[in-house]
C-alpha cells in the first residue's frame, strides 16, 4: 500500500471544511476493520485511509501547518500502513473501570506478543509488536500496542481464495479467539494484500 505524502493531506482550512464528511467516511470504513477478541481486547486493522485520518486529526489538534511538523507526523504514522504482505493493527485493551484496567494490565504483561492470526490450516502468525518502542515492563503492559502480522505468499493466496481467517490471544491472563472473521471483515482485510 502506498505511503502517504504531504500531497495526500488536506491543509487545515480545507480539512475543517471536509472534516464531518471525511470522518463519516472513515467511521463507515473502520466498521469492517475492527475485530473484538472477547470483551476487553480489540484489533483495529489500519490501512492508508485510517492512517490519513489519524494524521489529519493530529495536524488539526496540534495546529500543525509547517512542513517539518507535517513530515514528522508522516514519519510517525506511515509505518502503520500495510506493505502488501502484512496486516498492521492497533491493539487495544479496554476496560471502562480504571481500577479494573490497572489490575488487568498488571496481569497481562507481554500480551502483545501472544496475539495471532491464522489463515485456513496454515500455521498461526504471531504478532510482531511495538517496533517503534517497548510498551511493556515487568510490572504492567500498555493499553495500546501496534502490531504487524507477516504472511507467506501461500497464506495470502489462501486468504484471497476464501480460507477462514481466525484471530486470537493465547496469554495466561486472557485466552480467547474468534474462530472465523465475518465475510465483510475478511473482504476488507484481503484488500491490504498485493
Query: Rounded to an integer, what distance in angstroms lies between the CA atom of residue 145 and that of residue 171?
Result: 15
Number of Cβ atoms within 10 Å of the Cβ of 171: 19
Residue ranges per structural domain of the chain: 1-31+48-81, 34-46+84-194
Q: What mean pLDDT is predicted for residues 157-182?
A: 97
Q: What mean pLDDT is predicted for residues 71-95?
A: 96
- CATH value of 34-46+84-194 in 1.10.287, 2.30.30, 2.60.40, 2.60.120: 2.60.40
- C-alpha distance from residue 6 to each of 16, 22, 73 (Å): 17, 17, 10
**Tell me, what's the pLDDT at 136?**
78
Q: What is the pLDDT of residues 112-140, one digit of tens each?
A: 999 999 999 999 999 999 887 778 778 89
Name the band, by pLDDT with cuts 50, 70 and 90, for residue 171: very high
**Tell me, what's the pLDDT at 1?**
78
**Tell me, what's the pLDDT at 134?**
78
CB 163 within 8 A of CB 190: no
Q: What mean pLDDT is predicted for residues 68-91?
A: 95
**Tell me, what's the pLDDT at 72?**
95
DSSP-assigned letters across all residues of 59-98: HHHHT--SHHHHHHHHHHHGGGS--SSEEEEEEEE--SSH
Output the average pLDDT for the chain: 95
Q: What is the pLDDT of residues 1-53, one digit of tens each?
A: 799 999 999 999 999 999 999 999 999 999 999 999 999 999 999 999 999 99
Closest CA to 176 of 44, 21, 37: 37
Q: What is the pLDDT of residues 95-114, one digit of tens each?
A: 999 999 999 999 999 999 99
Q: What mean pLDDT is predicted for residues 158-182?
A: 97
Amino acid at each position: 500500500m502506498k505511503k502517504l505524502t504531504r500531497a495526500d493531506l488536506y491543509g487545515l482550512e480545507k480539512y475543517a471544511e471536509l472534516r464531518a464528511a471525511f470522518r463519516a467516511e472513515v467511521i463507515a470504513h473502520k466498521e469492517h476493520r475492527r475485530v473484538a477478541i472477547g470483551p476487553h481486547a480489540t484489533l483495529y486493522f489500519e490501512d492508508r485511509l485510517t492512517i490519513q485520518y489519524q494524521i489529519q486529526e493530529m495536524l488539526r489538534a496540534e495546529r500543525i501547518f509547517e512542513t517539518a511538523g507535517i513530515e514528522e507526523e508522516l514519519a510517525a504514522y506511515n509505518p502503520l500502513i500495510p506493505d502488501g504482505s502484512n496486516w498492521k493493527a492497533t491493539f487495544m485493551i479496554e476496560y471502562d473501570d480504571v481500577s479494573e484496567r490497572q489490575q488487568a494490565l498488571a496481569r497481562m504483561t507481554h500480551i502483545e506478543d501472544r496475539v495471532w492470526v491464522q489463515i485456513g490450516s496454515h500455521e498461526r502468525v504471531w504478532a510482531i509488536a511495538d517496533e517503534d518502542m517497548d510498551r511493556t515492563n515487568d510490572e504492567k503492559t500498555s493499553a495500546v500496542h501496534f502490531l504487524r502480522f507477516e504472511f507467506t505468499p501461500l497464506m495470502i493466496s489462501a486468504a484471497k481464495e476464501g480460507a477462514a481467517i481466525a484471530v486470537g490471544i493465547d496469554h495466561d491472563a486472557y485466552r480467547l479467539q474468534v474462530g472465523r472473521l465475518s465475510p465483510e471483515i475478511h473482504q476488507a482485510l484481503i484488500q491490504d494484500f498485493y
